Chains A and B, each alone.
Chain A
Amino acid sequence: MKKMSKILALLLTLAMVCGMFAACGGSSAPAATEAPKATEAQAAAPAATEAPAEPAPADDNTLPRNETLYFAGQQWGPVNSWNIVGTNQNNSMAIAGNAGGYRSLMFETLFMFDFMSGEKKGLLADSYEWNDDLTEMTVTLKDAAKWSDGTPVTAADVAATWEVALLTNNGTGGSYKAYVDTVEATGDKTLVIKSKLNDAGKPVNPLKVEDFLTGTPIAQAAWIKTLRERCNDDPTAILNDKGEDVVWSGPYTKYFADEQKVVLVRDDNYWGQDASMWGKLPVPKYIAHNIYADNAAGELALKAGEVDVCQQFIGNIQNLWLEDDLPISTFYDEAPYGVCLTMPTAWYNMNIPVVKDNVALRKAIAMATDYEAIIANAMTNQSPTFAEVPRSLMNPTAGEQALYDHEAVKDLQWAGNDIEGANKLLDEAGLLDTDGDGWREYNGEKISLNAVCPNGWSDWQAAMQIVAAAGDKIGISIEPEYPEWDIMQTRFTDPSQTDYAIFMWSPDAASPSMPWGRCNQFLSSEFVGLQNNWSGNWGQYVNEEADKILKEIPLTTDEAKKVELYTELVKIYLTDVPSFSLMYRPNLFHAVNESVWTNFPSADDGRNIPPADCTDGYGIRALYELELVG
């Protein structure tokens, strides 16, 4: 008996301790980032083909502060790999495809996207040209473009990048194989990209082919060859290769990475010093990102001046300068402070009959929701209101707003917090409270929904809370539910799930193919039934009319016709309410502390650099123009 109890106690204790780690993992208090230990630093120092001249930094102090630009809010957890054609690299400073433009610190795309103007600016490539029926695109590469090993960037590199993308179905392959047919090198510096054609012989979507130009980091053909040989052409092995010997073309390269931080160092042989590109090197010698436990830790570091550029949502950010007198600023010096490119949205799950069958219910909840409170509260006014930018499928940028006829859909709009209107709508639709318990019934059953978003995403949780409160006021029971992110992500991407009735997710922000891509995400039945669906239409909404228009838009070149088609889509969206946006939100937050560096992009500085964190798409130009304070 005694022995038994001892063993049992021991086992239970062990179980508890393990459980404790599991339970506390997500919510443990932020531990301030400690400087990595010297021994670890040496061990983790990159085994690059070209070893950096300096020894690996022993601690923070060896990175000279006035040569280092510190980031926050990008890298969570340690780096997995440097393999640019791989997957799951978790290497945000070097490898990150943001919807606002690809991060081109270490690997470069053919063109840089500027989400403010919608332009594509040449990087590895100089120019591109479509043929008349949009089936073939000729791209000319820059003469000066070179790899880190000194060899020129050629059309063969682009072709090899595409080839390995198809072989492994990596990020590039998955995103573009439905739209790009072939990438052929027609010369050293020229290549032809052919669109995939549909049954009618028309290109499937030329817009997506243009996305390829700004969204695909190019890898070196010779390195891809080495990689493929070492992996025997096994797709899984290629995807999971660590890529320590990778060859890059960008201005920075890996310097140091461990559990506490990631540091990139400037490559002083960078080809972009050529007059045909930047004509100089970027200013900071080091790009460093400490790995913080959570947003609060990153925010504290920004306040302390340990971080120069912070990509995190900070509520009431104006207090940092108004009340705390810190040298912190944002792209705009007044609300909404950043450029809102996307709209976090509440999606209705059409797998749930009561939701699918009742347009009135969907619209009533959307009408009753208090958007003013969500924007003031969850976003602390860092978003235009729906009175300023009426809801549609477009983000608030002027370019997208001009793509539909605001007057034509005016009657379909709703203002929010319209309890009376919502109640009337429900009454008319016959969704009544027949048993007098205060809740409305459908087919004799109480309508009971939940509103779901990940736990810990406080601004979204606040929004779901406000949606639930709206339900209370119109006799629809809506219970907010905050599952852990790892649980939620498996559920809402499952096309047959019925656990979440209303759930929050954000469509894509900006790219050359927007707003078409976003409209497609909102309305296209292309994604219905897709397993492990990260692509769009998470509510499984089907509308044939919308499908037809969505297919027509990419092939329409006449601007007036385009506006007409987009207006039709907005009409469908506002009539059928398959989802409703809750706020506008920047895709990238861009708060800078000018304790060390200054001359960051701002809206009124006349330089037209997008606030893309000084790293993404054309936003990287900021790095070439930074100055030290004083």
Chain B
Amino acid sequence: MKHTLRNIFHSSKFVVGFAIFMFLLVMIIVYPLINPGSPLEQIGVGTFARPGTYVSLYDAVKTTPETLRIQDADEKRMANALTTEDKVAMLEWFSAVGVDVSGLEMDDSEGFLELWFANYDESAKPKGFTMAKRNYYKRLNRTVLDLQTGEALVVADPDNETGELVKIGEIKKTDYVNVGQVTNVKTLPLGTDNFGRDVLKELVGATKTSLGVGLVAGIVATALGLTMGLLSGYIGGIVDDLIMFVTNLFTVIPGFILLILISYSISPDLRGPTTVAAVIGFTSWPWTARSVRSQVISLRNRDHVNLSKLSGHSLLRIVVTDILPYIASYVVMAFILQVSSGILSEAQLSLLGLGPKTTVTPTLGLMMNWAMSYSAHINGTWWAYLPVILTITLISFSLNLMNTGLDQVFNPTLRD
């Protein structure tokens, strides 16, 4: 045993796969401790907040500021509000309304603004300017108008009785607050999804559910496949014919379609993660059964098996003690593959809207399903689906790597 384990851990493929898998497992266990609470809590009111750190504006206003005179702060502000494209657009406006722009340098932002405020008219409709374009100028005007504010913004609070605004403070352009001192700061490394949920938190929760689904599916499929394969291979005859008939059927019918049909026929309120996992398990056992059977057939005429038979051992005992140990390594590898394909199947089913119907537990497939129905892939909100895809890829990549590594150790023809 020790020797086998050492062999396994000498396989670099296995080690890499194992490390990735362990990393995911640790994440599942540790992350909820750091960031507790329901992974489906809707913290954002809108949809798809960008990844990043969010600072409470309310608290920031109330935090004691530090005055920092940073040289290029004004320039940055200006550059942010008035980009080169905006200037080009302004030039277009000037030429449309017939303003002389000779002598205006591209980097002369002040000059641009002066000319702009003198010549822009929101109600003007220069010929050839579409509504979309005029709306663009309206927005541009609003942004550059903001640049005109004085040195400080006034913070005011309505009086409780009269409702009049009372000045309670002001924010100067040179005021800075230390992020560490603001009471409420929230980092959303992967932003929020369409429901305003923290994607990373949801992803960790979903990975847990999906691994669970994969595990259940893998156990069901392997247990069924193993039993069927052992019986079919060892007993032979009519039992073999029957079991092979069923597995042949499965070979003809694409398993995934069968999966779709069964899921479709289960009413949504019964379709929890465990049910879906079981359905996946029940539709994916045949190939395990087939390969176990062929191995058993080659084993059943070995001398030690015949000896057991002659000694009058029961069927169960022969199978468990004389046959199973010889195919155990193979079964473990098959199990790993079943787990991997179970996770993939759940994701595929959910993407089609046939996965677990649940509002209490997230799954990887459901995350993609919602991202798709909110057109995240069209809108460029990559954080809603790309991390999910990567996670699925990582899980099945690590499981497959482990499987290949094991194969190298156990399969004599591949052994170095």
Q: A residues near B, CB below 8 A?
A: 1, 5, 8-9, 12-13, 16, 19-20, 23-24, 27, 295-296, 299-300, 303, 315-316, 319, 321-323, 326-329, 333, 372-373, 376-377, 380-381, 450, 455-456, 458, 461-462, 465-466, 468-469, 479-483, 592, 594, 598-600, 602, 605, 629-630
Given contacts A315-B374, A327-B132, A480 and B379 within 8 Å (CB-CB): no
Beta-carbon contact of B249 and A8 below 8 Å: yes
A8 to B245, CA, bound (A): 10
Residue of B nearest to A297 (CB): B378
Chain B neighbourhood of A323, CB < 8 A: 380
Given contacts A299-B375, A629-B130, A23 and B359 within 8 Å (CB-CB): no
Could you list 14 further interchain pairs (A-B, Cβ under 8 angstroms) beyond the known A481-B268, A594-B133? A13-B252, A16-B253, A19-B257, A20-B257, A23-B354, A315-B47, A315-B379, A327-B132, A327-B133, A376-B47, A456-B353, A594-B132, A598-B131, A630-B128
In B161-205, the 8 Å CB interface with A consists of 194-196
Is B138 at the interface (CB under 8 A from chain A)? Answer: yes
Chain B neighbourhood of A316, CB < 8 A: 47-48, 379
Is B258 at the interface (CB under 8 A from chain A)? Answer: yes
Given contacts A1-B241, A23-B261, A600 and B353 within 8 Å (CB-CB): no
Chain A neighbourhood of B374, CB < 8 A: 315, 458
A380 to B379, CA, bound (A): 13
What are 12 A-B pairs with beta-carbon distances under 8 A? A23-B261, A23-B354, A27-B352, A315-B47, A315-B375, A327-B133, A333-B138, A458-B374, A466-B42, A468-B359, A483-B268, A594-B130
Q: B residues near A, CB below 8 A?
A: 42, 45-48, 128, 130-133, 135-136, 138-139, 194-196, 241, 245, 248-249, 252-254, 257-258, 260-261, 264, 268-269, 352-354, 357, 359, 370, 373-375, 378-380
Chain B neighbourhood of A468, CB < 8 A: 359
Given contacts A13-B252, A299-B375, A482-B268, A5 and B131 within 8 Å (CB-CB): no
What's the A-B contact tally at a CB cutoff of 8 Å?
122
Chain A neighbourhood of B261, CB < 8 A: 16, 19-20, 23
A466 to B195, CA, bound (A): 9
Beta-carbon contact of A455 and B47 below 8 Å: no
A326 to B136, CA, bound (A): 10
Residue of A nearest to B242 (CB): A1
Q: How close is B369's CB to chain A, nearest CB, in angstroms? A: 10
Residue of A nearest to B128 (CB): A630
A24 to B353, CA, bound (A): 10
Beta-carbon contact of B135 and A462 below 8 Å: no
Beta-carbon contact of A462 and B257 below 8 Å: no
Interface centre among A16, A455, A466 (most CB of B within 10 A): A16
Chain A neighbourhood of B379, CB < 8 A: 315-316, 319
A565 to B324, CA, bound (A): 83
Beta-carbon contact of A373 and B249 below 8 Å: no
A465 to B369, CA, bound (A): 14
Beta-carbon contact of A456 and B45 below 8 Å: no
Residue of A nearest to B123 (CB): A604
Specify which of A1, A27, A327, A480 is in contact with B353 (CB 8 Å cutoff): A27
A482 to B268, CA, bound (A): 8
Residue of A nearest to B249 (CB): A9
Q: How close is B120's CB to chain A, nearest CB, in angstroms? A: 16
Chain B neighbourhood of A322, CB < 8 A: 139
Beta-carbon contact of B253 and A321 below 8 Å: no
Q: How close is B32's CB to chain A, nearest CB, in angstroms? A: 19
Beta-carbon contact of B196 and A377 below 8 Å: yes
Beta-carbon contact of A465 and B359 below 8 Å: yes
Q: How close is A321's CB to chain B, nearest CB, in angstroms? A: 6
Given contacts A373-B45, A377-B196, A600-B131, A12 and B253 within 8 Å (CB-CB): yes
Chain B neighbourhood of A13, CB < 8 A: 252-253
Chain A neighbourhood of B45, CB < 8 A: 372-373, 376-377
A19 to B373, CA, bound (A): 24
Beta-carbon contact of A321 and B359 below 8 Å: no
Beta-carbon contact of B135 and A321 below 8 Å: yes
Given contacts A16-B258, A373-B45, A462-B194, A329 and B252 within 8 Å (CB-CB): no
Beta-carbon contact of A380 and B378 below 8 Å: no
Q: How close is A258's CB to chain B, nearest CB, in angstroms? A: 27
Residue of A nearest to B238 (CB): A1
Q: How close is B313's CB to chain A, nearest CB, in angstroms? A: 32
